Chains A and B, each alone.
Chain A
Amino acid sequence: MSRALRVGIGTAVAIAALALPHALTVPYFLHLTILACIWTVLAQGQNLVQGFSGYVSIAAGGFMAIGAYASALLSVKAGWPVWTSMALAPFVAAAFALVVGYPSLRVKGHYFAIVTLAYNLVIVTVLNNYESFTGGEAGMPNIQRPAALVLGGLQLSFAGREGYYYLVLLAAAAATAGGALVLHSRVGRVLIAIRQNEMVVDALGVAAWRYKLFAFVASGFLAGLAGALYAHFIGFLNPEPFGTDQSMNAILAVTLGGSGTLLGPIVGAFLVVTLPEYLRVADTYRLVAYGLLLVLATIFMPRGIVPMVSRGFQGMATRLAAALRPRPDPTP
């Protein structure tokens, strides 16, 4: 795609995203869009590990829980301002990721996946049983939305869905920008080299584990941010939405959308949030349909939707260009 075309499409998407709350007639869709933006943050984090370095982490739900509970506990129990606790929550999740990531990244491949799954189970068990602190299964009600901001005489309120939408949109954009920054840096290149051949990276004397740890901690950070945004949006927390199902959703979003790409997680997150709405007709078949989708996508579309579509576009563009280009005279 040419640069001009990209800028054009980007601007159009940005305008559409900003105008969205005014275009939606059914408020429920705004609700779903907010969730999709939050899930985008989560999926961008998952993409750093799964898409870039090729390691499957099954702990996204767990780190999301840590971010959500950190922010909720700081604001509800410690009485801190919501903005402060929301800003701190991702760091708490990242700190956890650092502590547990350091040992578990000493092992490779499947070991890593299984260990992260165990972390997720441990986190949920502790949240359920440490009742005096987390409220256990009964949960924590009445988690407040952040206070209104006054920017140059303009009052921005987040109590309604519209205001909150702009907040999560900003977060999703920032997460995507962060992903872009990593991808185009040396770190990103090393991570992708790890995905392609970790042994070669090791052999070149690059400390692969440092880069993997960075990706893991950064993904913990984003999952924590997603958790904080989620907690203050829904207003109620219990451990249930953060089980391994949630981690699977993050994996599904990245795989379907296009792992290792920047747009993939966005597309995947929207699919994961909206697909159930369309599959709801056959609610009992949903799990089966999801599974089939995951299997078929991995076999037939291993790079995900975004690369496939963009390749399709590129193919069309090349053909179009070829058709428009004046044919050189056939040389004898």
Chain B
Amino acid sequence: MITEALQQVLNGLAIGSVYTLIAVGLTIVFGILGIAHFAHGSAAMSGGYLTFILTERLGLGFFPAMAVALIAGAALGVVLERLAYRPVRDAPQINAFIIALGLTMILEGGNLLLFGPDQVVIPTPYQHVYTVGGLVVAELRIQVMLTASLAVAAMATFVSRTRAGRSIRAVAQNRQAAVLMGVNADAVATMVFALSSALGVIGGALVGALLAIAPGVGEGLVVKGFAVLILGGLGSIPGAIVGGLVLGVSEALAAGFISSAYKDVIAFLVMIGVLLVRPEGLLGKR
């Protein structure tokens, strides 16, 4: 029983670290620019597909391929911000949200056209399985968790330690004041989208290696990502990290001990419950 529960926690941490990556990307866009970037998951999947193409067709290693896709993904994020979100920056919030829905359709359709309807699995060399005291964990899962932690840590360091990061924080705190102090808000928007999409692409590539990329996977992930945001508090990076892991683990436990059919329902009920009791999220500011 205890081994089983611990094993379920371990199972959930792997997928939870992917949720975290997606959610951190969403939360910085939301916290700093106030945009609910619904197309984030589909953009992440485009990066995942690209990683697949680079490994499968060009024979690149998994991490080099991911690095190339990450740069392309960042560029895609910048283009989306520049062409689609920026024109409606001063319009009511609902417009940006509808744009996000439109972008989701474009990206999902584009992925389908370019990469086809079949699921795609990114090949990796990590086939080993480790057993420690009744607990089993695949090498690939360890790689996924490590990569996700490193990516989130790198992003946090960038935001807290660099000059560019400081301007991002300034805009997040008070956009008008930051602009008055000479911060270039357009540059910040570009930077935020580049960062967020790069994190998303890492998430997409990890999902593609651990599980699979297929039509609809991106949308599913972004919904989970928003659930994490609500759990952790919109705009909060620590909230996104904790929320992602909590969601992953609670899904695994729910599937293992309650009902596998209603696994997703349970996750959403938790989200709705949190929203009602503590609308600012578990780690959000009151």
Contacts and interface: CB of A to CB of B under 8 A. Distances in A.
Contact of B102 (A55, A107, A286, A298): A298
B226 A114 contact: yes
B279 A106 contact: yes
Contact of B113 (A115, A288, A292): A288
Interface stretch (B52-60, B89-97, B125-133, B247-255): B89-97
Contacts of B262: 125-126, 129
Given A109-B93, A285-B113, A290-B105, A251 B98 contact: yes
Nearest to A247: B101
A180 interface: no
A187 interface: no
Interface in A53-71: 54-56
Contacts of A298: 88, 95, 98-99, 102
A31 interface: no
A88 interface: no
Contacts of A244: 219
A121 B268 contact: yes
B268 A294 contact: no
Interface size class for chain B? 35 or more
Given A118-B272, A129-B262, A287-B108, A107 B279 contact: yes
A291 interface: yes
Contact of A121 (B92, B101, B113, B264): B264
A295 B99 contact: yes
B251 to A, nearest CB: 13
B256 interface: no
A302 interface: yes
Contact of A54 (B92, B113, B271): B92
Contact of A287 (B109, B223, B265): B109
Interface in B150-187: none
Contact of A56 (B94, B102, B275): B94
B39 to A, nearest CB: 9
Contact of B99 (A104, A289, A294): A294
Nearest to A112: B275
A110 B87 contact: no
B120 interface: no
Contact of B103 (A104, A126, A289, A295): A295
Nearest to A300: B87
Given A110-B234, A113-B36, A122-B268, A284 B94 contact: no
B106 interface: yes
Contacts of A50: 94
A110 B272 CA distance: 14
Contacts of A114: 36, 223, 226-227, 229-230
Contact of B97 (A110, A195, A287): A110
B94 A54 contact: yes
A126 B101 contact: no
Contacts of A55: 94
Interface in A141-172: none
Contacts of B84: 295, 299
A293 B99 CA distance: 10
A299 B271 CA distance: 32
Nearest to A125: B265
A248 B103 CA distance: 12
A104 B275 CA distance: 8
B113 A111 contact: no
A103 interface: yes
Contacts of B103: 291, 295
B109 to A, nearest CB: 3
B223 A117 contact: yes
Most buried by A among B91, B92, B102: B102
B2 interface: no
Contacts of B108: 287, 291
Contacts of B105: 248, 287-288, 290-291, 294
Contacts of A295: 84, 99, 102-103, 106
A3 to B, nearest CB: 32
A8 B106 CA distance: 41
A103 B272 contact: yes
Interface string B254-286: 000000011011001101100110010000000
A288 B275 contact: no
A294 B98 contact: yes
A243 to B, nearest CB: 10
Interface of A: 50, 54-56, 103-104, 106-107, 109-111, 113-115, 117-118, 121-122, 125-126, 129, 195, 244, 248, 251, 255, 284-295, 298-299, 302
5 contacts: A118-B272, A287-B112, A294-B102, A298-B102, A299-B99
8 cross-chain pairs, A with B, having the tightest CB-CB distances, nearest first: A287-B109, A291-B105, A294-B102, A291-B106, A288-B109, A295-B102, A110-B36, A118-B268
